[in-house]
């Protein structure tokens, strides 16, 4: 083998290694681009006590809403996405239900339901509540018409009583609130504080074609 051939061989091997590495990088970039959008709300009560976490994961067909809550009174609770990403002491700053289309409330109503309506969540005797809900009524994609990340953000609210799923929610006071923020929840033990120094079961799994609802405090605006 000539000297020129000997010099060419390591160059060829090096080129092949570079091409292989670039292929792996390209595949990783593609995987990252296709990764689901994730958002989190850390809920707390009016006294600032941490109540738990709600995680929202955008998939190809809608948004999965996963709740892991504690400290609730046993039984059903209204559970909604509200229109403003704020949790003041009485949680009224969160506004009404997220409702960009301006339609009526209630899964059982002919006119449809608010985009922020979700099914009731049910707490066990020990106050824990874990549930998975699915909705196609909202998106985590900024700029979309039904994005929860609009100009003033959005929040998760838990109510004292179950939603009626009718025109008037009747879900009572707001007992927990958490601002929805982009990103995954912190690992267990990571010390994630309840959101804004305020609000951060019977197991239930429910799939809802478009969304599901819960209602506002009777002493606050509908939502």
Q: Is the pLDDT of residue 183 over 80?
A: yes
Q: How many C-beta atoms surround the C-beta of residue 151 within 10 A?
A: 6
Handedness of CA 66, 69, 160, 123 (dihedral sign): positive
Task: Please tell me the predicted confidence (pLDDT) of residue 210.
Answer: 42
Q: Are 90 and 207 in contact (CB under 8 A)?
A: no
**Six-digit token pair at 82?**
């509200």
Task: Please tell me the predicted confidence (pLDDT) of residue 178.
Answer: 98
Task: Please tell me the predicted confidence (pLDDT) of residue 33.
Answer: 57
Q: Is the pLDDT of residue 2 over 80?
A: no
Global pTM? 0.70
- More confident site: 166 or 212: 166
For 53-74, write each residue's pLDDT tens digit.
999 999 999 999 999 999 999 9
Task: Please tell me the predicted confidence (pLDDT) of residue 169.
Answer: 67
Distance CA 139, CA 35 (A): 15
Looking at domain 38-205, does it have CATH number 1.10.1740.10? no
Q: Is the pLDDT of residue 34 over 80?
A: no
- More confident site: 33 or 204: 33
Task: Please tell me the predicted confidence (pLDDT) of residue 90.
Answer: 87
163's CB contacts (< 8 A; 6+ apart) are 78, 79, 80, 117, 120, 169, 170, 171, 213, 214, 215
Name the residue ranges covered by the structural domains of the chain. Answer: 1-35, 38-205
């Amino acid at each position: 083998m000539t000297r020129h051939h000997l010099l060419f061989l390591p160059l060829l091997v090096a080129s092949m290694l570079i091409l292989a590495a670039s292929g792996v990088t390209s595949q990783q970039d593609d995987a990252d681009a296709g990764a689901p959008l994730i958002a989190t709300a850390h809920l707390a009560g009016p006294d600032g006590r941490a109540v738990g976490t709600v995680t929202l994961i955008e998939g190809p067909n809608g948004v999965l809403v996963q709740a892991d809550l504690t400290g609730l009174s046993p039984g059903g609770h209204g559970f909604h996405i509200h229109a403003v990403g704020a949790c003041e002491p009485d949680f009224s700053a969160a506004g009404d239900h997220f409702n960009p289309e301006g339609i009526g409330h209630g899964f059982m109503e002919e006119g449809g339901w608010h985009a922020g309506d979700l099914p009731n969540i049910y707490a066990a005797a020990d106050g824990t509540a874990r549930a998975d809900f699915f909705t196609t009524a909202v998106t985590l994609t900024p700029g979309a018409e039904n994005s929860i990340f609009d100009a003033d953000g959005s929040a998760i609210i838990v109510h004292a009583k179950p939603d009626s799923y009718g025109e008037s929610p009747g879900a009572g006071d707001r007992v927990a609130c958490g601002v929805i923020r982009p990103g995954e929840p912190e690992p267990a033990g990571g010390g994630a504080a309840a959101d804004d120094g305020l609000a951060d079961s019977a197991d239930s799994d429910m799939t809802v074609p478009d969304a599901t609802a819960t209602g506002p405090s009777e002493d606050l605006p509908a939502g």
